[in-house]
């Protein structure tokens, strides 16, 4: 089945940066909008680095519709990482120009592609913005609504502050 024959699905992507974060989130939005058309975006949140000492991160969730297969979407995320100058270090807990993770590709469950992404219910800076965007969406494995996951999440360790960032999106 080609992309043209494939039914479009909604893809949710977490986006975070702590190196030139506003600039890199704008770059991610610009590139994803050019590739997929209109985006839906959560608020942008500032939160401390998790797992290491470093500058605060800006995090958000971006959603778009596509008929591209998930493998192609994942390749495109890597292309955007490259544009942002991301250097992958052995330690995943390190500063980064941009971190894009495909959280959900419709209701697809695929361990090899890490779908759904394991960070959804692990980190408040992922789950919170996702719950803001799609509270009624069901997690494809647990079946729980995203709002239910967020309300049950222990947010005591999640210091997130909503911030205004010009993402440069077309109206």
3-state DSSP call for residue 76?
Answer: helix
Catalytic residue among 88, 96, 108, 162: 96
How far is it, in rounded angstroms, from Cα 35 to Cα 68?
Answer: 10
Q: Is 162 a catalytic residue?
A: no
Helix (H) or strand (E) holding 73: helix 70-83
How far is it, in rounded angstroms, from Cα 44 to Cα 19?
Answer: 15
Q: Is 108 a catalytic residue?
A: no
How far is it, in rounded angstroms, from Cα 25 to Cα 166?
Answer: 9
Catalytic residue among 20, 56, 79, 99: 99
Q: Is 86 a catalytic residue?
A: yes
Six-digit token string for 5: 């024959």
Q: Is 76 a catalytic residue?
A: no
- What secondary structure does DSSP assign to 91-147, as a single string? -SSS--S-EEEEEEETT--BGGGTBS-TTTTT-HHHHHHHHHH-TTPBPTTT--BHH
Catalytic residue among 46, 101, 108, 110: 101
Catalytic residue among 20, 26, 72, 86: 86
Indicate which residues carry an active-site annotation.
86, 96, 99, 101
């Amino acid at each position: 089945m080609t992309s043209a024959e494939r039914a479009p699905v909604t893809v949710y992507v977490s986006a975070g940066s702590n190196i030139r974060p506003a600039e890199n989130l704008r770059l991610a939005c610009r590139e994803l909008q050019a590739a997929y058309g209109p985006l839906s975006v959560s608020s942008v949140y500032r939160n401390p680095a998790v797992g290491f000492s470093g500058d605060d991160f800006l995090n958000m969730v971006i959603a778009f519709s596509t008929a591209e297969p998930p493998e192609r979407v994942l390749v495109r995320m890597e292309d955007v990482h490259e544009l942002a100058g991301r250097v992958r270090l052995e330690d995943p807990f390190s500063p980064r120009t941009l971190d894009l993770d495909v959280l959900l590709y419709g209701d697809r469950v695929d361990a090899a592609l890490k779908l759904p992404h394991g960070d959804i219910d692990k980190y408040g800076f992922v789950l919170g913005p996702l719950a803001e965007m799609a509270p009624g969406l069901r997690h494809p494995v647990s079946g729980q609504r995203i709002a239910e996951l967020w309300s049950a999440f222990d947010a005591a360790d999640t210091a997130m502050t909503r911030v205004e960032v010009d993402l440069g999106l077309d109206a």
